[in-house]
Amino acid sequence: MWSRAAVLGRETTLMVSPSALRRVQHHLEAHLVPHAVGEHDVQSLVDKEAQEQVQARARLMSTKSLQSNATFDTYMRYDEIQAYLKQLEADYPNLVQLQSIGKSYEGRDMTVIRVSLNGGQSPRAVLVDAGIHAREWIAPATAVYLINQLVEHTAAHRNLLDGMDWYILPLVNPDGYEYSQTKDRFWRKNRGAPRDSWLAWFWNMLCERGADVNRNFGFHWMEAGASTYPCAETFAGSKAFSEVESQNLRDFVLAQNADGRFKMYLTLHSYGPMILYPYGYDYRVTPAPDTQELKSIAEEANAAMVAAGSVPFTVENSAELYPAAGGSDDWAKGVGGIAKSYTIELHGGGRNGFDLPASQIWDSVTQTFEGLKVFGVRAKSL
Ligand code: ARG
Ligand code: ZN
């Protein structure tokens, strides 16, 4: 999201093309809406970020091979994350197992890493995913850091692994992620909303393909905060689970959680910082019966992150932020049988929020990890 969405009485941020700026300003003035230009040239910031990425990568190449290591001073690409996961599986065969839960539209593996002390037989499990939205780069970075800590620093985090398995999917939307790395920094959707109708040629003329995977889950699908217009940022897909990425995640949860072993689902987004708890499909809905517990867990995680130097995360009901149906968080709780389900909106950066400078990855992921530890500890007593 571009900061908070346009809810009456709240501030919001939007990006306009140079040619439309005058008109938008006049419109706001005519309607007495207070406004200011925050950033005159977004492209220059994007260029700067790209340049920093190149420099950081060059520095790395000169010291050690990037291929099989996690790095947190640049945003890792899909292939680098895959290589790191494979390296961990080779190095820690007793702790780690990889599973492709299916392929993305463009054919990239959606790889879940299982971190378990006893071959995936623990009575409890936590599911963490990231990158359902392409441009929110700090989210996969945070997932990779979590993996790095659990696998390569197991001794320090034994309590998190005792009696509990971790399933982590660092890139729900690998196609969109790569597209945001190479073509359009602020791409949000996936890259393949199927366009099989006779209208396809028409949409292809108008905009790039893609659906918002976080509007595509089959729970109160399309009831609020989503669009049937294929060019919209929040295009919900042609029907519930029309997208292969949401299908794969659904099928994985249904298969793995048949016995209710999954106690918690954390889906990482940016930017907030915020911790959102369900339900988010409608703000008039009766609060979930476990709302107090959902809140208290999130508050405790927030306190740990603040103690680690983070700015505070706002803990709130996701519909209070803005109602949006078809999210993976709501589906996980409402259908997937994972009662404690959270969307974590990670730190924003710069003027644009999504393009947190690479130099700030480290602070963000280490601070957030303190919160993730709290979620993990609390999941053990659920
Ligand atoms: N920024 C997220 C999105 O727009 C928030 C999702 C919150 N969850 C929900 N079910 N509304 O997708
Ligand atoms: Zn998001």
Structure ipTM: 0.98
Tell whether ligand 1 has an atom less than 6 A from the beta carbon of residue 248: no
Tell me if 324 CB under 6 Å of ligand 1: yes
- CA-nearest residue for atom 9, ligand 1, is 280
Asked if residue 212 has its Cβ within 6 Å of ligand 1, the reply is no
What is residue 66's predicted lDDT score, i.e. its pLDDT?
A: 45
Give the residues across from 181 on adjacent strands: none
CA angle 87, 93, 97 (to 5 degrees): 80
Q: At CA 372, angle to CA 336 and CA 191, rounded to 5?
A: 55
pLDDT of residue 65: 47
Q: Which of 187, 209, 212 is nearest to 197 (CA)?
A: 209
Distance 131 CA to ligand 2 centre (A): 8
Segments making up each domain of the chain, as ranges: 75-381
Looking at all shown ligands, the one closest to residue 316's CA atom is 1
Instruction: Please write down the long-range contacts of 114-120, taking CB distance under 8 Å and 24 or more positions apart.
Output: 114/165, 114/166, 114/167, 115/147, 115/150, 115/151, 115/161, 115/165, 115/166, 115/168, 116/161, 116/165, 116/166, 117/161, 117/162, 120/165
> Which of 49, 80, 136, 345 is the catalytic position?
345
Q: Whose CA is nearest to atom 12 of ligand 1?
A: 214
Superfamily of domain 75-381: Zn peptidases (3.40.630.10)
User: What ligand 1 atom has the least distance to the C-alpha of 215?
Assistant: 12
**Residue having the nearest C-alpha atom to atom 7 of ligand 1:** 318
Ligand 2: distance of its center to the CA of 227 in Å? 16
Taking the CA of residue 325 as reference, the ligand 1 atom at the shortest distance is 10
Q: Kindly state if the Cβ of 330 falls inside 6 Å of ligand 1.
A: yes
Residue 345 appears among annotated catalytic residues: yes
* Distance from C-alpha of 96 to C-alpha of 166, rounded to nearest angstrom: 10
pLDDT under 50: residue ranges of the chain? 1, 3, 64-67
pLDDT at 8: 65
The Cα–Cα gap between 237 and 242 comes to: 6
Closest ligand by atom to 269 CA: 2
